Structure 1
């Protein structure tokens, strides 16, 4: 398993060379497919977070990457958006893309650049499962709990396995029990958990035969840019319906959490 320094170097190199949806997404499936996948992510985020009254809110987007969710916070009417990323490659480009917002190089497991209870809301999207060190993973929840004000909102995406944990070099898929326990210890209650994707991503919480079969199909379907675009366009129509009709997902889910009021 990669060390924290190795992970940072991995993402620095990856985002420096590919600052697009495929750079931050499922790279093996190519940019055309990822572009369709992110349309589903966008619809789910806007639908779920749009239910909250966060207009004019002060927001932290931790692990901003390309700024995809920074732009969605803008669309939802956030008053002030601050972003951070562990890589210089992302921070420098984010500052150019969003000159009216503040961006700093900061790891989500630290967040010491920010004041206690300094934000009404925070998001940490498609980041946490890339933290392979368990201590840093727990520290990320504590850091987010420190910077979000009591009564504030945290929005994350996670894989929430109800099967055994899966550990890889650059990703760890943790159990729903682990995630819920650490969120609780950091002062958060899970308000809502919904599918963010269904078929357009690795089926990490499905049986091994299905995971391998579907993964092989996706890689074959996206072997060229044109076929990847077509596969994405077709699955987009399916996934955007499935995420509305299902309560749980075999892949990435969106969680809305509320920071408990202090005693």
Structure 2
């Protein structure tokens, strides 16, 4: 079994066992806290993507790494009708087809899509909290180029990432890469960055913060989310502050949303 096959097997098992926002989110913090976190994500996505001068009801949209379909639904809330989804795992695709009858879902490795989609088929592509799970740098670059191949000239690529201002942090299932490295891959693929802002501030791992704050805040989050009731209370308490911070800060120590335009 290759390393890529192992990664796919990992996600097949994880999503087959837990097809919820917890399964695709920050699992250690529990379902209740993740639900509050995803409320913030939905609002930021709607505000940032909704601000683009696009009639989404006429657009063809692809969501890469659809998981539970959270961002498929987010596109629909923006008025998008022609939404296509794809995921690395069969576990997700089977359930997505049941949840969204009438929409197209394909099992695709975006780093090697093998002609499943046509060139310039879409007006916009989203890829939310997915790319940092591609741990091989060459496959990451290949994924960005594949997405560029699918977006028409003048179309948009919307994605979320941990854009570090420090050297890469490498783990078995996730690699957080420097902003400069990521933007270089985007430029090579033919994308121009038009927007970057916080997606979350405090409700996620502080991967781009100093080591003391990162450990202190991470330990506190895990402590207050040990049970579902305390996780719900912690999420409810942080939610209004998080909404304020993502709207008023320019940089985030955790996940940010970026919007690029295809040249």
Aligned counterpart, 1:216: 219
Q: Note the alpha carbon deviations across 1:122-141, whole angstroms, 9 max, x for none.
A: 00001000000111100010
Q: Note the alpha carbon deviations across 1:63-102, whole angstroms, 9 max, x for none.
A: 0000000001111111301100000100000000001110
1:190 to partner: Cα distance: 0.5
How many residue pairs were aligned?
259
The answer on 1:194 being equivalent to 2:197 is yes
Distance in 2 between residues matched to 1:197 and 1:93, nearest whole Å: 27
Q: Note the alpha carbon deviations across 1:188-239, whole angstroms, 9 max, x for none.
A: 0010001000000000000011111110000000000000000011111111
- Which of residues 232, 253, 258 in structure 2 aligns to 1:255? 258
Distance in 2 between residues matched to 1:165 and 1:245, nearest whole Å: 27
Q: For residues 30-45 of structure 1, what are the structure 2 equivalents within 5 Å?
A: 30-45=30-45
1:121 to partner: Cα distance: 0.5
Distance in 1 between residues matched to 2:161 and 2:152, nearest whole Å: 22
The answer on 1:114 being equivalent to 2:117 is yes
What is the RMSD computed on CA atoms of the aligned residues? Answer: 0.9
Provide runs of 4+ in structure 1 moved above 4 Å: none
Which segments of 5 or more consecutive residues in structure 1 lack a partner in the other structure?
none
Q: SS of the counterpart of 1:55?
A: helix
Stretch moving more, 199-208 or 109-118: 109-118
1:146 to partner: Cα distance: 0.1
Give the structure-2-normalised TM-score: 0.97
Distance in 2 between residues matched to 1:80 and 1:43, nearest whole Å: 21
Q: SS of the counterpart of 1:39?
A: helix
Q: Note the alpha carbon deviations across 1:156-196, whole angstroms, 9 max, x for none.
A: 00010001110000000000001100000010001000100
Q: For residues 1-263 of structure 1, what are the structure 2 equivalents within 5 Å?
A: 3-52=3-52, 53=54, 54-111=56-113, 112-260=115-263
